[in-house]
């Protein structure tokens, strides 16, 4: 009993610790600008300063913001899909084939994943301007992919290694081509890995700020995190905090949706029963 | 439905080691052939070369009239049951069985018919909607077989299909496979290390050792006319006894005494010096209960241990072997995956025998059943060539699927390691 109570209290503490900033930003997004400027330290808006949905409507009415959302969704989705497809193929090759330089590929991939993002911004900025990729979607998709691919490859290689060889051989004997065996047997079985990799990639692309702000100059390709920082309003010394809060809340929604959708696919123990353990 | 011909098949791995060396086996249409041998003998590799999962280094693999060396597995139209079943865990039992048909783009209605037919044959009807993960070992085994029989494959290949089941289920499935094969009359190649399966299932059995075919014959012939020491030691349980022996005239000297040998056998072993005599445990008997125990073929020995089983009793009699024979026997034991034990004679006595441990027992030996092996080559010197040739000719003309009419009695299963 005491033990159960302790667990509950512990969980509650952790939840509060994690969710308080989120709760606070939601609270902010429902206060009027005046309420914040005059100082309203309470969690709930003070009397007469409840903005209702007004902040959300204002943010959504902003052309730049809508455009940034579109950029972010598009860039993150394309980067995720491309990275997962490439990662799946590469990981499959690494898990199944014996070839020279296999270790090299894996260690290089890891090294790239550990490389500090900031150090690449300068060179990329120069390169992208020369190549005409500056301030375009591909200009962001490519760096996102190069940083998320290693992660995807490592995750997926681990998953593919778990899948017994015999399944694929059985499929081939049953009349499947190598490609059919891969698509109908291996990929469905590696689905948890594929979706894990997809979530990680999407997170990285969605949350990135450094590339987003350095490699874009207009709303042409500027993603949400960068766009929010450009939300200065009329007075640069008096930033519209409540509008920003509303924007931040809106920016969080797609990621929650994506996680909820993908999470259902991540079912552990999908391979149980394939072979006698 | 097709015959499978292996002509001088060789499989060499990267390091040049031949896992399968110059093996030629003809499997007639509808025949049930067993590949058997201790672990590492190349039997599974050979099977995987038939199905196309392993490249063939040299030789010809013919299925029907086609040379299939360079064909992908999907083009060979064979069905295989894997040792660990290899069921698709994300598909239901129904879809697992239907998988080969779906790949072949068979219309849905036909698929349904065939899957239901197969599931009825294998009594899987109530499990069709379940996933393999929720099935028992025997059920999974049946699903794997369902996947094989649902398509009209040219041949069935089994890779140790029963080794993951417990002993009771193994016996049931063995009969089930035999019945199924006879009913479908389909060419079958079956890999096992279990000699009970080999003897009971096969029309013919191929015994392999380190990639080399030792003997290809009916179970009966393997038992009564083993080509060499290895086959003699591999088939039968408890295994054949090997004793140092010398033949002079019509008598053979064994470590326990001299025994009269039939003249034709003695003639084949004249002047060969030290030989290895192979005598199966059941060809000994307690002289006091044997009906035809004449003086010429009895000897007396001190019994070390007696295991009484009711219908029979095993008596163990230790003996000393000269070094040149000892070496050969140790090597043989290694080839058979066994532990090198001290040399002892295992004698199967009638259940009525009153011999007890420590007794000096009078043992009768059926001298007509003694095999004599050359200690250097391991070759059987006392093969009845003419009989063997007849039997082989007989064998090829035999109706497909008609198993051996009488199986030798095997009471125990030899387990690898």
CATH architecture of A63-263: Orthogonal Bundle (1.10)
Give dist(CA B416, CA B288) in Å, integer. 37
Number of Cα atoms under 13 Å in the Cβ half of residue A127: 10
Å between B405 CA and nearest CA of chain A: 34
Flag whether pLDDT at B317 surpasses 60. yes
Give just the sign of the alpha carbon dihedral A169, A173, A177, A183.
negative
Cβ neighbours around B391 below 10 Å, total: 16
For the segment B6-22, the average pLDDT, to the nearest whole number, is: 88
Q: Provide the pLDDT for residue A154.
A: 86
Say which residue, A268 or B239, is predicted with more confidence: B239
Q: Burial level of A7, CB count in 10 A (0-12/13-18/19+)?
A: exposed
pLDDT-wise least confident of A254-268, B246-260, B261-275, B394-408:
B394-408
Judge: B100–A164 Cβ closer than 8 Å, yes or no: no
* A189-198 residue pLDDT tens: 888 888 888 8
Using a CB-CB cut-off of 8 Å, the residues of chain A touching B132 are 273-274
Q: Provide the pLDDT for residue B340.
A: 56
Judge: B51–A166 Cβ closer than 8 Å, yes or no: no
Q: Provide the pLDDT for residue B388.
A: 44
Å between A181 CA and nearest CA of chain B: 10
Q: Provide the pLDDT for residue B109.
A: 92
Å between B64 CA and nearest CA of chain A: 17
Using a CB-CB cut-off of 8 Å, the residues of chain A touching B55 are none
Q: Where are the domains of chain A?
A: 1-61, 63-263
pTM to 2 decimals?
Answer: 0.75
* B40-80 residue pLDDT tens: 888 989 999 999 988 898 999 999 888 888 888 888 888 99
Say which residue, A192 or B291, is predicted with more confidence: A192
Residues whose CB falls within 8 Å of the CB of residue A28, separated by 6 or more in sequence, listed in order: A36, A241, A242, A245
Does A176 contact chain B (CB < 8 Å)? Answer: yes
Q: Provide the pLDDT for residue B204.
A: 93
Q: Provide the pLDDT for residue B206.
A: 93
Judge: A188–B90 Cβ closer than 8 Å, yes or no: yes
Angle at CA of residue B156, ends B150 and B158, nearest 5°: 115
For the segment B11-30, the average pLDDT, to the nearest whole number, is: 88
Q: Provide the pLDDT for residue B412.
A: 40
Q: Provide the pLDDT for residue A274.
A: 52
Q: Provide the pLDDT for residue B274.
A: 85
Q: What are the residue ranges in chain A where pLDDT is below 70?
A: 39-40, 48, 232-237, 265-277
Confidence of residue B415 (pLDDT cuts 50, 70, 90): very low
Q: Burial level of B410, CB count in 10 A (0-12/13-18/19+)?
A: middle
Residues whose CB falls within 8 Å of the CB of residue A256, separated by 6 or more in sequence, listed in order: none
Enumerate helices (H) and strands (E) in chain B, giving the number of each: 11, 21
For the segment B322-350, the average pLDDT, to the nearest whole number, is: 79
Say which residue, B397 or B252, is predicted with more confidence: B252
Give dist(CA B274, CA B329) in Å, integer. 14
Flag whether pLDDT at B332 surpasses 90. no
What are the structural domains of chain B?
A: 4-224 (3.40.50.300), 239-383 (2.40.50.140)
Q: Provide the pLDDT for residue A115.
A: 81
Q: Provide the pLDDT for residue B362.
A: 86
What is the overall mean pLDDT for chain A? Answer: 84
* B103-136 residue pLDDT tens: 888 899 999 998 998 888 888 888 888 888 888 8
| Helix ranges (DSSP H) in A115-272 | 118-131, 137-162, 165-173, 178-181, 187-189, 191-207, 210-214, 224-229, 241-263
- Name the one residue in this structure whose structure tokens are 């072979």: A275
Say which residue, A48 or B148, is predicted with more confidence: B148
Number of Cα atoms under 13 Å in the Cβ half of residue B245: 31
Q: Provide the pLDDT for residue B255.
A: 84
Judge: A175–B151 Cβ closer than 8 Å, yes or no: yes
Q: Burial level of A268, CB count in 10 A (0-12/13-18/19+)?
A: exposed
Q: Burial level of B325, CB count in 10 A (0-12/13-18/19+)?
A: buried
* B373-401 residue pLDDT tens: 888 888 888 887 544 444 444 444 444 44
Q: Provide the pLDDT for residue A268.
A: 52
Judge: A275–B85 Cβ closer than 8 Å, yes or no: yes
Flag whether pLDDT at B416 surpasses 70. no
């Amino acid at each position: 009993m005491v033990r159960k109570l302790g667990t509950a209290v512990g969980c509650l503490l952790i939840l509060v610790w994690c969710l308080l900033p989120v709760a606070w930003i939601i609270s902010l997004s429902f206060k009027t600008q005046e309420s914040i400027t005059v100082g309203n330290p309470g969690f709930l808006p003070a009397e007469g300063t409840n903005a209702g949905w007004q902040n959300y409507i204002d943010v959504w009415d902003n052309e730049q913001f809508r455009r940034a959302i579109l950029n972010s969704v598009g860039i993150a989705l394309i980067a995720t899909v491309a990275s997962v497809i490439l990662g799946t193929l590469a990981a499959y090759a690494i898990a199944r084939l014996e070839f020279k330089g296999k270790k090299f590929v894996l260690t290089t991939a890891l090294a790239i994943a550990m490389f500090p993002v900031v150090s690449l911004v300068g060179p990329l900025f120069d390169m992208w301007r020369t190549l005409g990729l500056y301030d375009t979607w591909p200009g962001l998709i490519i760096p996102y992919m190069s940083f998320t691919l290693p992660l995807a490859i490592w995750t997926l290689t681990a998953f593919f290694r778990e899948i017994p060889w015999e399944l694929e051989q059985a499929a081939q004997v049953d009349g499947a081509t190598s490609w059919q065996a891969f698509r109908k047997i291996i990929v469905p079985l590696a689905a948890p890995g594929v979706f894990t990799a997809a979530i990680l990639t999407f997170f990285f692309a969605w949350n990135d700020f450094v590339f987003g702000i350095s490699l874009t100059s207009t709303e042409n390709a500027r993603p949400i995190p960068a766009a929010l920082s450009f939300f200065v309003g009329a007075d640069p010394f008096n930033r519209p905090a409540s509008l920003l809060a509303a924007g931040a809340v809106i920016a969080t929604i797609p990621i929650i949706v994506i996680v909820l959708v993908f999470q259902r696919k991540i079912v552990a123990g999908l391979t149980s029963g394939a072979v006698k353990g | 439905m097709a015959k499978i011909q292996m002509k001088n098949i060789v499989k060499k791995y990267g390091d040049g080691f031949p896992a399968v060396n110059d093996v030629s086996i003809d499997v007639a249409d509808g025949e049930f052939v067993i590949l058997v041998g201790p672990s590492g003998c190349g039997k599974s590799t050979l099977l995987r070369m038939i199905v196309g999962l392993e490249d063939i280094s040299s030789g010809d693999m013919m299925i029907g009239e086609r040379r299939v060396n360079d064909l992908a597995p999907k083009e060979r139209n064979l069905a295989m049951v894997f040792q660990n079943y290899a069921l698709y865990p994300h598909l239901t039992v129904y879809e697992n069985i239907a998988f080969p048909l779906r790949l072949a783009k068979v219309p849905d209605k036909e698929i349904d018919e065939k899957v239901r037919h197969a599931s009825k044959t294998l009594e899987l009807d109530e499990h069709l909607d379940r996933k393999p993960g929720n099935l028992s070992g025997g059920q999974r085994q049946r699903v794997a077989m369902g996947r094989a029989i649902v398509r009209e494959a040219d041949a069935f290949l089994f890779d140790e299909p029963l080794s993951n089941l417990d002993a009771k289920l193994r016996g049931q499935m063995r009969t089930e496979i035999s019945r199924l094969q006879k009913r479908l009359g389909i060419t079958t190649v079956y890999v096992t290390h279990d000699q009970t399966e080999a003897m009971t299932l096969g029309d013919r059995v191929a015994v392999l050792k380190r990639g080399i075919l030792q003997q290809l014959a009916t179970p009966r012939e393997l038992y009564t006319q083993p080509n060499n020491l290895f086959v003699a030691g591999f088939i039968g349980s408890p295994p054949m006894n090997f004793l140092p022996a010398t033949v002079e005239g019509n008598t053979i000297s064994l470590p326990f005494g001299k025994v009269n040998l039939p003249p034709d056998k003695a003639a084949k072993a004249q002047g060969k010096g030290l030989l290895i005599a192979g005598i199966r445990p059941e060809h000994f008997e307690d002289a006091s209960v044997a009906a035809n125990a004449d003086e010429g073929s009895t000897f007396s020995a001190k019994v070390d241990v007696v295991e009484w089983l009711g219908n029979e009793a095993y008596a163990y009699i230790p003996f000393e072997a000269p070094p040149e024979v000892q070496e050969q026997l140790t090597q043989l034991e290694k080839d058979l995956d066994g532990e090198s034990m001290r040399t002892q004679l295992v004698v199967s006595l009638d259940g009525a025998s009153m011999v007890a441990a420590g007794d000096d027992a009078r043992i009768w030996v059926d001298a007509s059943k003694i095999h004599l092996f050359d200690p250097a080559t391991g070759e059987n010197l006392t093969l009845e060539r003419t009989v063997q040739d007849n039997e082989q000719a007989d064998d090829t003309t035999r109706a497909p699927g008609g198993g051996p009419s009488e199986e030798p009695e095997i009471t125990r299963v030899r387990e690898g390691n």
